[in-house]
């Protein structure tokens, strides 16, 4: 494992709030990024810290591995890694996925019942879709995105909400995206 550069450690501190460098180095970098002097007491202000986090978000995300190409997105009974399966199964128009980045999608079919769970990002917000059906129907007309958080999904996983057939994969996904919520 490679050691982080000082600049990378500052970015991690700015985005996550985890102390990774000497505070004076971080303080200097925040001042430069803000384009104004920032007083140490301002770091205790929630709004200021949200502003600081936003300053580092793009750099932080660039530091992550190429998750788009290296991380599987479709699990359980959905094979391949194509959004075509969502268009087909949910019977939605292509425009429903405009600006959408699919992060996790799973479908299981067992004992004449099917369950689907999709997590996606759009406009810097996280959404989920939950759907289910019996043997008489499919997933059509059930594409109803709801805004969510990683914290909310983690809570449901922890309390054994379901996610049968892909719970381990969902837990791995949540570990990989722990800083994005």
pTM attached to this predicted model: 0.61
For the chain, which residues make up each domain, given as ranges? 6-63, 67-176
Is 144 in contact with 127 (CB distance < 8 Å)? no
What confidence score (pLDDT) does residue 20 get? Answer: 94
Architecture (CATH level 2) of domain 67-176: 2-Layer Sandwich (3.30)
Q: Give the pairing type, strands 113-122 and 101-110.
A: antiparallel
What confidence score (pLDDT) does residue 181 get? Answer: 44
Q: Is pLDDT of 19 > 90?
A: yes
25/102: higher pLDDT:
25
What confidence score (pLDDT) does residue 33 get? Answer: 93
What confidence score (pLDDT) does residue 61 get? Answer: 78
pLDDT in tens, 46-98: 999 999 999 998 888 778 765 544 567 887 787 666 788 888 888 999 999 99
What confidence score (pLDDT) does residue 163 get? Answer: 67
Number of residues that make up the chain:
181
**What is the C-alpha separation between 25 and 61, in angstroms, rounded?**
21
What confidence score (pLDDT) does residue 175 get? Answer: 74
CA atoms within 13 A on the CB side of 71: 19
């Amino acid at each position: 494992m490679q050691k982080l550069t000082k600049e990378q450690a500052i970015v991690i501190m700015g985005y996550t709030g985890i102390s990774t460098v000497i505070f004076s180095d971080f303080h200097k970098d925040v001042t430069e990024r803000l384009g104004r002097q920032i007083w140490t007491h301002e770091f205790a202000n929630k709004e200021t810290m949200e502003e600081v986090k936003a300053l580092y978000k793009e750099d932080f995300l660039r530091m992550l591995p190429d998750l788009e190409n290296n991380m599987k997105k479709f699990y359980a009974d959905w094979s391949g890694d194509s959004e075509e399966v969502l268009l087909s199964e949910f019977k939605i128009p292509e425009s429903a996925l405009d600006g959408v980045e699919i992060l996790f999608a799973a479908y299981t079919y067992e004992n004449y019942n099917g369950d689907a769970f999709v997590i996606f990002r759009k406009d810097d917000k996280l959404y989920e879709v939950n759907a289910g059906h019996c043997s008489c129907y499919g997933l059509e007309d059930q594409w109803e995105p709801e805004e969510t958080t990683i914290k909310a999904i983690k809570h449901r996983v922890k309390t054994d909400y379901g996610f049968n057939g892909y719970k381990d994969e969902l837990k791995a996904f949540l570990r990989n995206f722990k800083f994005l919520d």
